Amino acid sequence: MLKTAFIGLGVMGYPMAGHLARRGYSVTVYNRTRGKADRWIIEHEGRAADTPREAATGADVVFVCVGNDNDVRNVIYGEDGALAGLKPGAVLVDHTTTSADLAVELNQACGASLSHFIDAPVSGGQAGAENGCLTVMCGGTESVFKRVQPVIETYAYQAQLMGESGQGQRCKMVNQICIAGILQGLSEALMLAEKANLPVAKIVATLQHGAAGSWQMVNRLETMAKGEFDFGFAIDWMRKDLSICIEEASFHNMSLPLVEAVDRRYQLLQEQGLGRMDTSALVKALQEGTHNINRISSVKG
C-alpha cells in the first residue's frame, strides 16, 4: 500500500485525509495548527508531523490542500517545506485552488528534484469532501496521473486529466465562472419569484429536472429564500478564486463582465463583514442594490 501525506486539514483536507486512512493507506498529516492534526490522529489511523518536510519524507504521494498561492509556497518551499522531503519518483498533488502559473512553477520545481507534480483543484464543497464525492480537475502527464488516480478516487466521484500542468487549475476557473453565473441567475429568479408570490419549494421541485436545474438550485434556492447562508464555500474564498479567473482572462486579452459584476457584489458583502457567509449570499447584495435603487427613485419622484 502506498505511503501518503496530507498537508492542510481545513474543512476540505480533514475529511479527504480521513478517506485515505479509512481505505487503508498509510497517512501522515501536517497542519499549521497542531491541535487539528492531533485531533485527526485520534479519529483516524495515522501520525502527525511537525513540519511539511517531515510529513513528505518517505511518502509516495503528498497531498496539499491549503488556502492560496502564498500558502502553497509556504508549505512547499524552504528548509522545512514538503519539497525538501520528497523522495525521487514521489508525486506532489496540490488540491488547492491556485493560479495556473503556480502549477507550472511547482511542476518545474518537482521535476528539478526528480519528483512529479499534479495540479488537482476540487469542486463539491465541504459536503463533497465529507461524502467522498468530489470532482477533481487535474493537470500533468498521463502516466503520473494514472499512478495517483486510484488514490484520489478514495474521496472523488470524478477525477479527470485535463491536460498539461496548469490545465487543472484553468478548468477550476471555468467551474467557478459557471457557479458565479448560476448564483447570479438564481438570485434574480428568487427575487422575481418572491415578488410574484411563487412558492419556492414548488419551483425547485418543478424546475430541477428541466433545463434550468442545477446543484445550486436544488441545494441553495430554498435556503437563500430563508436567509440562511452558513453553508460550505465562503465568499472570501470565492473572491480569491474569481480574482484568479479575471487575471487569467486578462492574460488572454479578454474580459469577464459577469464575473466582474458578481465579484463587486461579493466585495460589498465583505465590506459589511459577511465574508464568511456562503456564496449563495449573493442574493443579499442584489436585494440591497434593488432596495437602494427603489429608495433613490422614490426620493426623485
> Is it true that 3-164 and 170-300 share their CATH fold?
no
Residue 3, classified by CB atoms within 10 Å of its CB into exposed (0-12), middle (13-18) or buried (19+), is: middle
Q: Please write the tens of the pLDDT for every residue from 239-256.
A: 999 999 999 999 999 999
Fold of 170-300: N-(1-d-carboxylethyl)-l-norvaline Dehydrogenase; domain 2 (1.10.1040)
CATH 3.40.50.970, applies to 3-164: no
Q: Please write the tens of the pLDDT for every residue from 43-83.
A: 999 999 999 999 999 999 999 999 999 999 999 999 999 99
Overall average pLDDT of the 110-138 stretch: 96
Overall average pLDDT of the 115-131 stretch: 96
**pTM for the whole thing?**
0.93
User: Given 3, 36, 172, 284, which residue is catalytic?
Assistant: 172
What pLDDT was estimated at residue 1?
Answer: 79
**Residue 72 identity:** V
Query: Where would I find the beta strands (DSSP E) of the chain?
Result: 3-7, 26-30, 47-48, 61-64, 91-94, 116-119, 122-123, 134-139, 156-163
Residue ranges covered by each domain of the chain: 3-164, 170-300
For the question of residue 226 being annotated catalytic, the response is no
- Cα-only R_g, the chain: 21
Range scoring the smallest mean pLDDT among 122-131, 184-193, 262-271, 282-291: 282-291
What pLDDT was estimated at residue 291?
Answer: 52
Selected residue with higher pLDDT from 293 and 38: 38
Q: Please write the tens of the pLDDT for every residue from 88-111.
A: 999 999 999 999 999 999 999 999
